Amino acid sequence: MTQIDDRSLNEATVAGGGLLSRRKLLGGAALGSAAMSLGVVDAVRADPALPEWVTSAGIPALEYGHPAPQEADVKRVLFQIYQDLAPEFSFSGTPLQKLRGTITPNGLHFSVHHGGWPEDLDPRQHVLMIHRLVDRPLKFDLESLDRYPMISRVHFLECAGNGFFNAVAPEPQNLGLDMLQGLVSNAEWTGIPLSILMDEAGAQPEGRWVVAVGNDAPSLSRSIPMEKVMKDGMLALYQNGERVRPEQGYPMRILLPGYEGNMNIKWVTSLWVTSEPAHTRDESGAYTDFLADGRVLQFSYTMGVKSLITHPSGTMTMNGPGLYEISGLAWSGSGRIARVELSADGGESWADAELQPPVQSMALTRFSLPWRWDRAPTQLRSRATDEAGHVQPNRAAWKARYHPSNINHYNAVQAWDVSAEGEVVNACA
């Protein structure tokens, strides 16, 4: 077996804990000699026996594809916080630790439902109305909307309560990313700019707000600033190329890039143009932020800059010492990610991770950096900065700002402890 050139690896070191520069690693030709430490099979052994699947005909084409049966454990984790009392109040978290790239498959996109989702909604009867402070009240069905020019944009969606275990738990919860931080996903959304529909309806100058109402059991509704609606709001009809799925708002939903998930109303039926916010139950209750000084922060729409190391992460186990790739995701509701720093020694030193293109505005960005682990116990952290200059806070700073009961807008640094045995556990509390 080829031995690793320790001198080349040492020259590639950029921070404590074994963080390496990919450029120096490749430039020193160390990665090629290090390949054997990455799990490469020793050699191809000649075997005259042919595997069964090449001796008979395989499965014919399917009408709708599905994952390999061996990947059956790649699925969302389910939350029902009120259990039998209100099972419809439910969540499903994206298994970020089992995915690569940045686009979330439609079947794994997180969902939050306050009263379940309307399973049998008939798209032929679904109508969207734009009314109140407009010159021409309008009504659209799906067939009429399909005639409008559409745009496609890649954006993340994140629940305002994502990370609630870390926000309020007195002790670190040893859970996977799907449970800890899985209420965020990323997709290509296709639909009609809301500005086109508002212009057609003739939104009046005093109409500074739009109240969006959904067609679910609780009639979820939120007030949206008209400025945001006209800037980049979308009536989304497609997700990753196919019709928006029922649990994501079929046949149409609102998409507000960078804003908290609850504002992106699903199954939308009504857009009221108003002069003032409606102060609905949702925006006056569950989606206000309680501050440490006793004040309440309302209309905190934009999701903060955030990053997560997905590989390795909680509940994983390292496969012996050697070279690994630290990889993760970063995003911000304020624009593009400008920088992600990684630490492999509990924050004592930091190195810049590589951002994998394309780095898009208000979308998940994949970051990575080579890492040499020598079995020493350590702690991994990531810290993101966006193009507006916002820096992801450490947990102490986030906790100092908010009341202990607050779970919304948790964007503190996520830390993972790695034991000498290679067990990776949540270190946030």
Span 138-157, pLDDT tens digits? 999 999 999 999 999 999 99
Confidence of residue 105 (pLDDT cuts 50, 70, 90): very high
Helix (H) or strand (E) holding 425: strand 424-426
SS3 (DSSP) at 204: coil
Confidence of residue 4 (pLDDT cuts 50, 70, 90): very low
Which of 83, 111, 139 lies at the terminal end of a domain, its last residue? 111
Cα(105)–Cα(99) distance, rounded to whole angstroms?
A: 9
* 168 is a domain residue: no
Cβ atoms of residues 299 and 284 within 8 Å:
no
pLDDT of residue 103 exceeding 80: yes
Same domain, 202 and 131: yes
pLDDT tens per residue, range 249-302: 999 999 999 999 999 999 999 999 999 999 998 888 788 999 999 999 989 999
* CATH assignment at residue 186: 3.90.420.10
Average pLDDT over residues 104-122: 89
pLDDT of residue 387: 98
Same domain, 222 and 313: no
| Residue 20 CA: distances (Å) to CA of 31, 85, 328 | 11, 51, 16
pLDDT of residue 36 exceeding 50: no
Same domain, 194 and 283: yes
Same domain, 371 and 397: yes
Same domain, 220 and 263: yes
Half-sphere exposure of 13 (CA within 13 A, CB side): 14
Q: Checking phi first, is residue 266 left (phi over 0); if not, alpha (psi -120 to 50) or beta?
A: beta
* 224 is a domain residue: yes
Which of 238, 258, 287 lies at the terminal end of a domain, its last residue? 287
User: How many residues in total does the chain contain?
Assistant: 429
Cβ atoms of residues 210 and 231 within 8 Å:
no
Average pLDDT over residues 173-190: 97
**Residue 92: count of CB within 10 angstroms of its CB:** 20
Cα(288)–Cα(409) distance, rounded to whole angstroms?
A: 10
Helix (H) or strand (E) holding 175: none
Same domain, 145 and 283: yes
* 51 is a domain residue: no
SS3 (DSSP) at 185: strand
Same domain, 130 and 277: yes
* CATH assignment at residue 335: 2.60.40.650
What is the residue range of 422's domain? 306-426
Dihedral pair phi/psi, residue 134, rounded to 5°: -135, 155
pLDDT of residue 110 exceeding 50: yes
* 418 is a domain residue: yes
Residue 160's nearest CA partner among 80, 299, 260, 14 is 260
Cα(337)–Cα(362) distance, rounded to whole angstroms?
A: 8
Same domain, 152 and 192: yes
Cα(416)–Cα(381) distance, rounded to whole angstroms?
A: 7
pLDDT of residue 1: 31
* 300 is a domain residue: no
Confidence of residue 3 (pLDDT cuts 50, 70, 90): very low
pLDDT of residue 41 exceeding 70: no
- The two tokens of residue 334 are 């304020």
Number of domains in the chain: 4
Same domain, 151 and 268: yes
pLDDT of residue 90: 85
Residue 186's nearest CA partner among 359, 363, 358 is 363
With b meaning 16 or more CB within 10 Å and e meaning fewer, what string describes 321-354?
ebbbebbbbbbbbbbbbbbbbbbbbbbeebbebb
Cα(245)–Cα(249) distance, rounded to whole angstroms?
A: 6
Confidence of residue 91 (pLDDT cuts 50, 70, 90): confident
**Residue 97: count of CB within 10 angstroms of its CB:** 23
Hunting for tokens 């556990």 — which residue is that? 425
Of 174 and 33, the structure prediction assigns the larger pLDDT to 174
- The two tokens of residue 401 are 């700002």
* 60 is a domain residue: no
Residues near 415 by beta carbon (within 8 Å), at least 6 away in sequence: 346, 379, 380, 381, 395, 426, 427, 428
Average pLDDT over residues 167-181: 93
Instruction: Quote the pTM value.
Output: 0.94
Same domain, 107 and 214: no
Same domain, 421 and 334: yes
* 297 is a domain residue: no
Residue 67's nearest CA partner among 76, 75, 59 is 75
Mean pLDDT of the residues in the chain: 91
Same domain, 214 and 243: yes
Cα(328)–Cα(340) distance, rounded to whole angstroms?
A: 10
